[in-house]
Chains A and B, each alone.
Chain A
Amino acid sequence: MEEKNNMTAEHSLKIIRESIERSQRTINKNSALPLIWWGVCVVFFSLLIAHLWKNYGGPVWNMLWAVLWLIGYAGNWIIEKRRENIPNTFVGKVIGHVWTTFGVFCCGVGMLLGFIGCGMLPVELVMPNVYIFGCITSVISLCFGMGTTITGLVMSNRIIQVCGLVAGIGGFFGALHFPGHTQLYVMAAVATIGLIVPGLAIFVQNQK
């Protein structure tokens, strides 16, 4: 870029628009891998826990979700370290806050249910109706969908918005139809639609 001072107003506007768009593209490009990574982690753990739950001892295997968070964050840290050097932007910050909030809420609810499952807390202390336990996948799916949709709105990406809606609403009602370990298949589907598909869509867009 040369040093030019005799620009027209149109050219100035073009520079502003192009600079912001170029910066936005770089940020979008770098958001593909974390989405795919977290999606693959959730799908893998959903299927693993469903398998163990079904064949080897019941819902106690849900404690493995804690390992997902550890592995997920470790992988995310490596991705952040190796990715292109991009600045912190308002968009990136909002997306980060959305998913951190999602993680904190799901971790909090998951841990509480885990303590109940292990008998460390009485069920009646947190929920009077045991049926609610069966619907927790619905609630998490809804949160998942909301997180994905907000990400799509902030990034102005229609594919991510649609994936978030489908994953959230589909997962919420879908989980109600599946009892026990089969709910985890719904969770795997929600992660595929809500994380992996948007990640791949961004990845493919960036290759063009």
Chain B
Amino acid sequence: MFKPLDPLLHSELRLAVMSLLVSAEEAEFPYIKEQTGATAGNLSVQIDKLSAAGYIEIEKTFKGKRPCTLCRITPAGLNAFEEYVESLKSYLKI
């Protein structure tokens, strides 16, 4: 029996963002943009979706005089990611 895949995570860019944040305490927006190769606009939309679902926290701050957007995964996001990976295993019969 296949477990259902979280539709919010079953998206290329959102999954890449969550995978990056899983191993990091927090990551800045430009770092995520560089690592995923996404456009700023698209990334911003996807990050907002993850934030609205409570999977990540977004903190707007300043680095010196420059604005800086920090993203970090929440416990709910970590749980969702773990469940997603577990579901994947059932599809791949790992």
- The yes or no answer to B80 lying at the interface (CB within 8 A) is no
Asked whether, in the complex, the Cβ of B12 is within 8 Å of the Cβ of A89, the reply is: no
Asked if residues B26 and A12 are in contact (CB atoms below 8 Å), the reply is no
Q: Of the candidates B23, B30, B31, which one forms a contact with A20 in the assembled complex, judged by CB atoms under 8 Å apart?
A: B23
Q: Say which size band chain B's interface belongs to.
A: 20 to 34
Residue pair B15, A12 in contact (C-beta under 8 Å): yes
Q: Which of A3, A23, A93 contacts B42 (CB 8 A)?
A: A3
- Judged by a CB distance under 8 angstroms, whether B59 is at the interface is no
Number of interface residues of A (CB under 8 A): 28
Q: Judging by beta carbons under 8 Å apart, are A5 and B20 in contact?
A: no
Most chain A beta-carbon contacts within 10 A, residue among B5, B19, B31, B85: B19
A7 adjacent to chain B (CB < 8 Å): yes
Using known A-B contacts A13-B88, A16-B85, A87-B28, determine if residue A23 contacts B23 with beta carbons closer than 8 Å.
yes
User: Is B58 among interface residues, defined by CB-CB distance under 8 A?
Assistant: no
Residues of B contacting A: mostly: helix
Residue in chain A with minimal CB distance to B72: A87
Would B38 and A1 count as touching, CB distance under 8 A? yes
> What per-residue 1/0 map shows which CB atoms of A73-99 lie under 8 Å from chain B?
000000000000111111101000000
Confirm or deny: A206 has a beta carbon within 8 angstroms of a beta carbon on chain B.
no
User: Does B78 count as interface, using CB distance less than 8 angstroms?
Assistant: no
The residues of B with any CB-CB pair to A shorter than 8 Å are 5, 7, 10-13, 15-16, 19-20, 22-28, 30-31, 35-38, 42, 46, 84-85, 88, 91-92
Q: Which residues of A contact B91 (CB under 8 A)?
A: 9
Give the chain A neighbours of B35 by CB distance below 8 A.
Answer: 19, 22-23, 26
Partner of A3, one of B13, B27, B37, B92: B13
Q: Contacts A15-B12, A23-B35, A85-B31: A3 and B25 contacting too (C-beta < 8 A)? A: no
Q: Which A residue's beta carbon lies closest to that of B88?
A: A9
With a cutoff of 8 Å between Cβ atoms, the chain B residues found around residue A124 in the complex are none
A5 touching B23, Cβ below 8 Å: no
12 contacts between A and B (CB under 8 A): A1-B42, A12-B10, A12-B84, A15-B15, A19-B15, A22-B35, A23-B20, A24-B23, A86-B31, A88-B26, A90-B25, A91-B23
B16 touches A1 (CB 8 A): yes
CB proximity of B41 to chain A, nearest CB, Å: 11
* Residues of B with C-beta under 8 A to A7: 10-12, 15
- Which of B7, B20, B28 has most A Cβ within 10 Å? B20
Please, how many angstroms separate the alpha-carbon atoms of A22 and B36 in the complex?
9
Which chain A residue has the least Cβ–Cβ distance from B24? Answer: A87
Tell me whether A5 and B88 are in contact (CB under 8 A): no
The 8 Å CB contact of A12, one of B23, B46, B88, is: B88
Cross-chain contact B12 with A87 (CB below 8 angstroms): no
